[in-house]
Amino acid sequence: MRWARPALPRVVLGGSATLVASLIALAVPQVLRSVVNGPLLTDGSRTAVVQAALLVLVLGVLEAVLVWCRRALIATPGTGVERTMRTDLFRHLLDLPVAFHDRRGGGQLLQRSMGDLHTVRRWMVFGLVQLVVAATTVLVGAGLMLATSPPLGLVYLVGAVPVIWLGFRFRQDYKVVARRARDQAGDLATRVEESVHGIRVLKAFGRGDDALEEFVRQADELRGTELDKARAQSRMSFALAWIPETTLAVALGLGVWLAATDRVSVGALVAFFATATVMTRPVESLGHLMAMTLDARAGTDRFLDVIDTVPALADPAEPVALPAAPAGGTRVELRDVRFAHTPGSAEVLRGVDLVLEPGETMALVGLTGSGKTTLLQLVPRLYDVTGGAVLVDGVDVRDVTRHDLRGAVAVAFEDPILFSASVRDNVLMGVPTERLAEMTEQEVDDVVRIALDVASAGFVHRLPQGVDTVVGEEGMSLSGGQRQRVALARAIAGRPRVLVLDDPLSALDVATEADVTEGLRRVLAGTTTLVVAHRTSTVALADRVAVLEDGRITGVGRHADLLASHPHYRYVLTAEGDEAARPLPGDLDVAAEVGR
């Protein structure tokens, strides 16, 4: 795995240190054997006993030093691997298309980047090395026992057969519950995230108890799975404790008989059981270490599920550069555009043909759910068309890099999302980083000031720290209309070639709306703009209006002309509100005609 590779040298070194430490532990019984068989049972030489004791002491100190080395060597790369995996996952999440995030719960992704990777790190730092060392210790120990006394060693090996079989079954069962537990933990995190996000709705509708009930149900489910895990693990640990112990009891009876009949030396018998004692801990830890490994595997699988998802909206292999911005403005064309949110589902857009001439402001009007937002999102390529093409200055948006495209096209959504940063930083998100890097402090200040002015966001200067006020998570410390204006300022701050606005004035009162409209008119001159409009006042920003009906554009023209000639347009604007069909200044005559 590429994430583990940089850490491998230190992990191998740390593993080797632990291995040597375990082998040292296994060597102690052999020293014991030589003491028992030598000085203890024969000449009783004190020097030999002292030498042996000193040797055991040195071996003990060496073992302790090596255990310390393991910790020092492995802790750092373990955290490094976790950090790199987490960063790569986050980078990938940013790279994945909006359609991916439409399908995945936020909590699941949170759980993947935090809980799952934490499990992987713990396994790398502790589980992996311990597992290798325990397995090696058991193998070497079994070999030593076999060499010390073949009949006793064989008894021990016979006992290993059911343990191996149980281990195999444990692996099969635990793998499934480990994955289920991680998925359920992700679902639970999604529930928390969704409830916190929608706390106002829950409180306003008194639905807190229902949310709690659902949370408890999911938490119980997770607890059930955790208990299944614990049960499987304790079954395995139980087997790993009683089978070797029973085997040793049999071996003890046999060993005493063999020693009594001089078929095995007392020293060998002592060494055999001392080795078995050294092996007790590694053998018993195998259950826990296997469980840890399978947990880490479930975490890794969930990590790879996301990281292996190829971004459907990747940059083209040979990107085309957008032509330099033409003096008169940028031309945007939607050519026979088709779009379905998921493969096989009904098409939301069914052959949209629309041209925005350079510098033109086009309003997009249609019934709720007719696909206006969807259409808008195809221009900055938040989704890819499923048929036809979107062209910016004659270039298919799929042929340019996303970086170039997003430098040229700016968006303001109806539901404006701000980040927990200052107003100033939120606005500056709309300016490409390279351009920001070339600006002086004064120029940056001017960009922020002008953008906020155009969006009539003067309220910002009355905030406690002015433009440096941090707006809280998702900008929740601001009102809806205030957030909408900051988001609008962000969209226009970068002076984009194309501006895509999704009903950007919907949360504003009439007076503020008039101010913003006035400011926008100035800015929009020369910027090709597509703006979703539900109200006549937003339509007032536009040079022409396009009517989206049943997935197609059924009319394009001036507001007054459409009001006169297009029944669906008239119906949409009238249906959206009493004041909606209010004619624009200068349209009074036509409106009067229609009204008659």
Residues 559-588 that bind ligand ATP (CB under 6 A): none
Torsion angle (degrees, nearest 10) of CA 307, 312, 316, 317: 50
Smallest distance from ligand ATP to CB 340, Å = 9
Residue with tokens 């996301």: 306
Residues 313-342 that bind ligand ATP (CB under 6 A): 341
Residue with tokens 């790398």: 124
Which residue number, 210 or 550, has a Cβ lying nearer to ligand ATP?
550
| Cβ-contact 187, 306 below 8 angstroms | no
Which residue number, 400 or 547, has a Cβ lying nearer to ligand ATP?
547
Residue 430, phi then psi, degrees to nearest 5: -80, -10
Output the 3-class SS for 387-404.
Answer: EEEEEECCEEHHHCCHHH
Long-range CB pairs of 180-183 (<8 Å, 24+ gap) are 180/225, 181/222, 181/225, 181/226, 181/229, 181/298, 182/111, 182/115, 182/116, 182/119, 182/295, 182/298, 182/299, 182/302, 183/108, 183/302
Smallest distance from ligand ATP to CB 341, Å = 3
3-state DSSP assignment of residue 494 = coil
3-state DSSP assignment of residue 547 = strand
Residue 343 interacts with ligand ATP (CB under 6 A): yes or no: no
Which residue number, 93 or 132, has a Cβ lying nearer to ligand ATP?
93
Smallest distance from ligand ATP to CB 500, Å = 12
Q: Which stretch binds ligand ATP (CB under 6 A): 110-118, 130-138, 175-183, 362-370?
A: 362-370
Smallest distance from ligand ATP to CB 383, Å = 9
Output the 3-class SS for 313-358.
Answer: CCCCCCCCCCCCCCCCCCCEEEEEEEECCCCCCCCCEEEEEEEECC
Interface residue with ligand ATP, options 369, 464, 586, 595 (CB under 6 A): 369
Q: Which stretch binds ligand ATP (CB under 6 A): 45-53, 126-134, 309-317, 371-379?
A: 371-379
Please count the residues of this chain forming the interface with ligand ATP, following the rule CB under 6 A: 11
Residue 370 interacts with ligand ATP (CB under 6 A): yes or no: yes
State which H helix or E strand residue 500 sits in.
strand 498-502
Whole-angstrom Cα distance, residue 432 to residue 29? 69
Interface residue with ligand ATP, options 16, 37, 373, 386 (CB under 6 A): 373
Residue 78 interacts with ligand ATP (CB under 6 A): yes or no: no
Which residue number, 369 or 595, has a Cβ lying nearer to ligand ATP?
369
Which residue number, 280 or 506, has a Cβ lying nearer to ligand ATP?
506
Q: Which stretch binds ligand ATP (CB under 6 A): 120-128, 369-377, 431-439, 516-524?
A: 369-377
Smallest distance from ligand ATP to CB 373, Å = 3
Whole-angstrom Cα distance, residue 583 to residue 227? 68
Residue 190 interacts with ligand ATP (CB under 6 A): yes or no: no
Interface residue with ligand ATP, options 368, 522, 585, 596 (CB under 6 A): 368
State which H helix or E strand residue 30 sits in.
helix 8-35
Q: Which stretch binds ligand ATP (CB under 6 A): 5-13, 361-369, 492-500, 556-564?
A: 361-369
What is the DSSP code (8-state) at residue 470? B
Smallest distance from ligand ATP to CB 370, Å = 4
CB atoms inside a 10 Å sphere around CB 9: 11
| Cβ-contact 394, 331 below 8 angstroms | yes
Tally the C-alpha atoms within 13 A of residue 529's C-alpha that lie toward its C-beta.
29
Which residue number, 4 or 367, has a Cβ lying nearer to ligand ATP?
367
Which residue number, 395 or 532, has a Cβ lying nearer to ligand ATP?
532
Residue with tokens 């509100």: 577
Which residue number, 261 or 368, has a Cβ lying nearer to ligand ATP?
368
Phi-psi region of 383 (alpha: psi -120 to 50; beta: other; left: phi over 0): beta
Residue length, the chain? 596
Residue 102 interacts with ligand ATP (CB under 6 A): yes or no: yes
Which residue number, 132 or 340, has a Cβ lying nearer to ligand ATP?
340
Interface residue with ligand ATP, options 348, 395, 427, 489 (CB under 6 A): 348
3-state DSSP assignment of residue 526 = coil
Q: Which stretch binds ligand ATP (CB under 6 A): 48-56, 286-294, 370-378, 471-479?
A: 370-378
Whole-angstrom Cα distance, residue 19 to residue 22? 5
Smallest distance from ligand ATP to CB 98, Å = 8
Q: What tokens were used for 244?
A: 């070797």
Smallest distance from ligand ATP to CB 374, Å = 3
Smallest distance from ligand ATP to CB 548, Å = 7
Residue 371 interacts with ligand ATP (CB under 6 A): yes or no: yes
Interface residue with ligand ATP, options 70, 121, 182, 372 (CB under 6 A): 372
Smallest distance from ligand ATP to CB 502, Å = 7
Smallest distance from ligand ATP to CB 526, Å = 27
Smallest distance from ligand ATP to CB 487, Å = 16
Please, what is the Cα angle at 594 between 591 and 596, to 5 degrees?
Answer: 110
The residues of the shown chain that bind ligand ATP, judged by CB under 6 A, are 102, 341, 348, 366, 368-374
